[in-house]
Structure 1
Amino acid sequence: MTVRTRFAPSPTGFLHIGGARTALFSWAYARKHAGEFVLRIEDTDVARSTPEAVQAILDGMNWLGLSWDEGPFYQMQRMDQYKRVIQQLLDEGKAYLCYCSREELDAMREQQMQEGKKPRYDGRWRPEAGKSLPAVPAGVDPVVRFKNPLTGNVVWDDLVKGQISIANEELDDLIIARGDGTPTYNFCVVVDDWEMGITQVIRGDDHVNNTPRQINLLQALGAQIPQYAHLSMILGDDGQKLSKRHGAVSVMQYHEDGYLPEAVLNYLARLGWSHGDDEIFSMAQFCEWFGLDHVTPSAAQFNTEKLNWLNNHYIKQADLARLAEDIAQRLALAGVQVHEGVDLQGVIALYRDRAQTLNQLADSVAYFYRKPEVDAAAQEKHITADIVPVMHALFAVLEGLEWTQDNLHHAIEQAVTANALKFPKVAMPLRVMITGGAQSPSIDAVMTLLGKSESLARMQAILRA
C-alpha cells in the first residue's frame, strides 16, 4: 500500500510554527516511504475562512519548500460529495434527524450539570426498536446526527502516544450536518481521509478527542482506518503555551524577520524529534532518518536562541549571490540602494559570520551604501582630544597611500607604534569615523571595500567638525 499523508489546515489565520511542524513531519513521512503528500484546505468555517488566509498557507508552504503531490483540495468544493455520504448513512439507518431546538439542548445540559453528570446529548431523537419518538415540531430544520455505538471502546495504537482507548459511553451522537444542511468539520475530515486514501494521519494532539468519533464514522462507512499520530504541543521559551510573543506567528513572519527557510526547517525537525545528537542536517538527510518512533510524546519547547544559532550557521553556508539578492531587497525596503555602490557580495562575506538574521546582516552593511549616523556616545568615548592629532597624521598618510588592505593595515600599525599606543586606541576611533559605531570587522578590510575616496571623506567629516 502506498503511504499517503496529508496536511489539512483551516484557513482561519496564518500558517503558524506548530502547523508548519505538522506539515513538515507529514511531508517527511511521505518522502521517507516514497509515498504521496496531500494538501487539503479545510475551509468549511465560512464565517472565518478567508482567501488571504488560504494564500498565507500556500505562501508559507512554498517558502519552506514543502511541496505537495496532490491538491490543494478545498472542502467547500466537495459539498455535494459530503451530502451524498450523509444521505447514505441516513438510508442505512446509521444516522438520523434530530429536531431539538437550541433552547432544548441548553436546558438538557443545564439539568445534567445540576445532577453532576457530563453534559451531552441524551439521544431523545435517536430511533431504537420499540421506542416512540416525539412529534416532529413545525418550523424546525433538523440536524443530522450519527448513531454512535452505545457500548464498547474505540482503541487505536497511536504512532506517537501509544495505545489509546476511549469508551463509547463517553461519546454522544455527533452532529454531522447542521440545520441548513452544511456538513460539520469532523464528518468532512472523515470523508476526505477515506476518499483520498490517507494511510497516516499526523496532526496535533488537540485532535485526540476527535479521533474516536472519526474512527466510528469510518467503520460505519466500511472504510479503511488510517494510522494516527498525534504530535504534542509546542511551549514557548518560558515553558508556557506558545503565543505570538515567542513563536506563534505566521511562518512568513520568519521570512520578514530574516530567517532562512532551511534554518526554520532544520529547527522544526528537532522540535520534538531527534536522531542521536545530530543538530544540523539537510532535509534529504532528515527524510532518510525520520520516523514517528523518535517523536517524543511530551511537549516540545521553543528555543529562540537555538533557532538563531542555526540561522547563523545557514547564513555562513549560503551562496553569496543568493544572500546578496535578499539583502539588496531588504535594504531597498529601508530606502537604501546598492546597485552603484560597493560590491555587495564582498561586503556580505565580511559580515555574515556574525549575523544571526538577514535583517541584522542588512542593518550591519547599510553604512557601505549611505552615510552613517555617527553614534554620539561612541564618538565621545573614542575620538578624544588626545587622539585627534593622531587621526590627522594618519589621514595625511592615507591620502598618499596605494589602497590595499596590507597597506592600510601597515599604516595603522605605524600610527600605533609612532604614538606608543595600543592598536584599539587607533582602530576604534577610525572605526567610529568610517562606520558610525564601534562594532565592525577588521577596519582595514572595511576601508578596503569602502574605497579610498569614501573612507577619507568620512574621516574628514569628523576631523573638520
Structure 2
Amino acid sequence: MTSNIRVRYAPSPTGHLHIGGARTALFNYLFARKQGGAFIVRFEDTDQTRHVETGIDSQLNGLKWLGLDWEESVDVGGPYGPYLQTQRLPLYQPYVQQLLESGNAYECFCSEEDLEQERAEQEARGEMPRYSGKCRHLTAEQTAAYRAEGRQPAIRFKVPEDKIISFDDQIRGLVEFESGGIGDFIIVRPTGIPTYNFAVILDDHLMKITHVIRGEEHLSNTPRQMIMYEALGLPAPKFAHLAIILNPDRKKMSKRDESLIQFIEQYRDLGYLPEAVVNFIALLGWSPGGEQEMYLMDELIAEFSLDRVAKSPAVFDMDKLNWMNNQYLKKADPVIVTALAVPHLQKAGRIGEALSEEQQQWVTSLVALYQEQLNYAAQIVELTELFFKEDVVFEDDEAKALLTEEYVPVVLGSFLGKAEQAEDFSPAAIQALLKEVQKETGYKGKQLFMTTRVALTGQMHGRDLNHTIHLLGKNKVVARLKKLL
C-alpha cells in the first residue's frame, strides 16, 4: 500500500538522540509505515550557536540502532532536498519577499537594547512582554535614516489583531489561541537567517509534509505557523502534539538530570536490546488496548494509530524498561547476549581483548548462566564478580555463620578429595560428584548444597550450582576449599 502521507522527524543537530526525540521519531515512523507513506529525516541547523559537529551522525546512528529507516534524509538524498536547513536558505527568500509585498511582514530596526528596555518597561507595568509593533509603520525617511546608521533590519511578521487562531489537533481536538497574546515576531534575523517558525513551515510545505507529529513544547508555535500559512496562501498540514514525558517524580524530564538515563546512545552502550527500547518508548503515551505489553516492530506498525495517543503526560518508569529488557534478553540468542556483555567484561579488566576459542566458550557459558538475571548487559560485571576474585568474599554474616556448623569440614573435605581426583569437571560430572559426597557423608539438601555454594562463592543463593562450579574450574575450586579448610 502506498499513499501521499508524508511525515518528518526534524531535530536540531545539538547532541545525542534524547528519549523524547526518539519517541517523536518512532511515532512518526509507525504512522508512516501504517499508512503506507514516507518517513523523512531532516535537520534544522540554523542555530549555529548550539550546533554540535557530530550531532547529525549521532542522531542518525541512534535512529538506525532503534531499527528505523527513512525514504529521504541527508544520507540518502531525495526529491525534496537539501535536508539540511542551512543549505535551503535561498528557497526561503521568495516567501520573505511575498510577505513584505503583501504587507504581512515588515522590516524592524530595533536593537537588542531597545527590545530589552521595552520588555523591562512592560514587566514593570505588570504586562506580558511582547513586541509593541513600533516599527510597523516606519516611513521611508525613518528607514533610510536607520540604514544610514548601519543598522541591519530583522523581518517581523505582522500578527492580525483580535483574531482567533484555531486548528484541529489530531490528538487534542480543537485548539484555539487569541492573536492578541502573540505580538509581531521575527521571521528573519538581521543576519539573514530565518527563525525556526518561518523556516519550518516552508520546509514542511516544500517537502509536501501532510502530518506534523511533534512534542507539545511546539504547541505554542502552532498559531504563529498557522497565520503564516494563511498569509502565504499555503495549505497547512495536520498537526498532532504529543504530551510531554515526566520523570519518576512526575516532573518534566530535564536533559540536565543525571539521575536518569536519557539518551539512546547510553542504552546502546549499557547493553540494552533495541527492540526492547522501541517497545518501551512506543508505550510512553500510546496505548494499543488490551493486555499485551510485548510488541515487535511489525506489530507496533499494525496496531499504531494517533487516536490512541494520550493527551496526558507519560511517566518514564526505569523499572518497567528494565523489566521489559530482561524479558527480551531471556529470549535472546546467548551469542547475541554474550556479544553485548563481552565489552563490559573487557572494560572491567575481567577478560582480555583477544580471546582464544576456549576462553570464548567459557565466557559464553558464563553469560548464559546469568542471562535470565540480566536487565542489561553491563550488569554482567557485578553479577559474575565471584568468578574473577582470588578469594571468596562472603555476602553477609549469615553466610559466614553457616560455615561454622560442625558438619561443614566433613562435607567440604569429602568434596575436596573427589574434586582433586576428578578428570571430568563438566556440570554433569559435578552433579555426580555431589551425589557421591552425599552417599559418603550422609549429608544432603541445604547441608550439602548450600554449604558447598557458600564455601566456593560466598553466596547462599545463586545460579545453577553444577554450572557455577564447572565455570569456577577445578584449580580455583580446589584452591578455595583448601584455603577454607
TM-score by length of 1: 0.91
Is the CA contact (8 Å cut-off) linking 1:207 and 1:230 kept in structure 2? yes
Q: 2:379 aligns with which of 357, 360, 363?
A: 360
Q: Number of matched residues?
A: 460
Is the CA contact (8 Å cut-off) linking 1:237 and 1:246 kept in structure 2? no
Per-residue deviation, 1:84:
4.0
Partner in structure 1 of residue 77 of structure 2: none
| Change beyond 3 A, Cα 1:150–1:345 | same
Task: Give 3-state SS (helix, strand or coil) of 1:428's partner.
Answer: helix
- The RMSD of aligned alpha carbons is 2.5
Per-residue deviation, 1:362:
4.4
CA distance in 1, matches of 2:400, 2:458: 12
Per-residue deviation, 1:291:
0.6
**Cα deviations across residues 176-220 of structure 1 (Å, max 9, x unaligned)?**
111121211111111111111111111110111001111111222
Q: 1:220 aligns with which of 231, 244, 247?
A: 231
Partner in structure 2 of residue 98 of structure 1: 108
Partner in structure 2 of residue 201 of structure 1: 212
Partner in structure 1 of residue 345 of structure 2: 331
Task: Give 3-state SS (helix, strand or coil) of 1:182's partner.
Answer: coil
Q: 2:332 aligns with which of 307, 318, 321?
A: 318
Structure 1 window deviating more from structure 2 (453-462 vs 67-76): it is: 453-462
Per-residue deviation, 1:250:
1.7
Is the CA contact (8 Å cut-off) linking 1:236 and 1:246 kept in structure 2? no
Mapping of residues 13-92 of structure 1, within 5 Å: 13-72=15-74, 73-92=83-102
Structure 1 window deviating more from structure 2 (45-54 vs 334-343): it is: 334-343
**Cα deviations across residues 105-157 of structure 1 (Å, max 9, x unaligned)?**
223333333444322112222249xx898554222211101122223221111
| Change beyond 3 A, Cα 1:461–1:81 | farther
Q: Structure 1 unaligned runs (5+)?
A: none
Letter in structure 1 aligned against 2:306 = L
**Cα deviations across residues 324-364 of structure 1 (Å, max 9, x unaligned)?**
22222222222213544243333333221121111113443
CA distance in 2, matches of 1:38, 1:408: 58
Is the CA contact (8 Å cut-off) linking 1:41 and 1:75 kept in structure 2? yes
CA distance in 1, matches of 2:27, 2:271: 24
Is the CA contact (8 Å cut-off) linking 1:124 and 1:133 kept in structure 2? no
Task: Give 3-state SS (helix, strand or coil) of 1:374's partner.
Answer: coil
Q: 2:127 aligns with which of 98, 117, 127?
A: 117
Partner in structure 1 of residue 445 of structure 2: 423
Per-residue deviation, 1:258:
2.6
Is the CA contact (8 Å cut-off) linking 1:125 and 1:134 kept in structure 2? no
Mapping of residues 255-404 of structure 1, within 5 Å: 255-276=268-289, 277-335=291-349, 336-337=351-352, 338-339=355-356, 340-341=358-359, 342-365=361-384, 368=387, 370-371=388-389, 373-377=391-395, 380-384=400-404, 386=406, 387-401=408-422, 402-404=424-426
Is the CA contact (8 Å cut-off) linking 2:427 and 2:466 kept in structure 1? yes
Letter in structure 2 aligned against 1:150 = E
1:190 pairs with 2:201: yes
Partner in structure 2 of residue 174 of structure 1: 185
Is the CA contact (8 Å cut-off) linking 2:261 and 2:267 kept in structure 1? no
Is the CA contact (8 Å cut-off) linking 2:24 and 2:213 kept in structure 1? yes
Q: Structure 2 unaligned runs (5+)?
A: 75-82
| Change beyond 3 A, Cα 1:248–1:436 | closer
Is the CA contact (8 Å cut-off) linking 1:83 and 1:183 kept in structure 2? no
CA distance in 2, matches of 1:410, 1:146: 84
Per-residue deviation, 1:454:
4.8
CA distance in 2, matches of 1:381, 1:84: 84
Per-residue deviation, 1:450:
4.7
Per-residue deviation, 1:281:
0.9
Task: Give 3-state SS (helix, strand or coil) of 1:343's partner.
Answer: helix
Q: 1:5 aligns with which of 4, 7, 18?
A: 7
CA distance in 2, matches of 1:89, 1:196: 20
Structure 1 window deviating more from structure 2 (168-177 vs 215-224): it is: 215-224
Letter in structure 1 aligned against 2:380 = L
Letter in structure 2 aligned against 1:357 = Y
Per-residue deviation, 1:80:
2.2
CA distance in 1, matches of 2:426, 2:119: 83
CA distance in 1, matches of 2:472, 2:67: 37
Partner in structure 2 of residue 447 of structure 1: 469
Is the CA contact (8 Å cut-off) linking 1:194 and 1:218 kept in structure 2? no
| Change beyond 3 A, Cα 1:163–1:280 | same
CA distance in 1, matches of 2:56, 2:456: 47
Is the CA contact (8 Å cut-off) linking 1:247 and 1:302 kept in structure 2? no
Partner in structure 2 of residue 237 of structure 1: 248
Per-residue deviation, 1:371:
4.4
Letter in structure 1 aligned against 2:20 = G
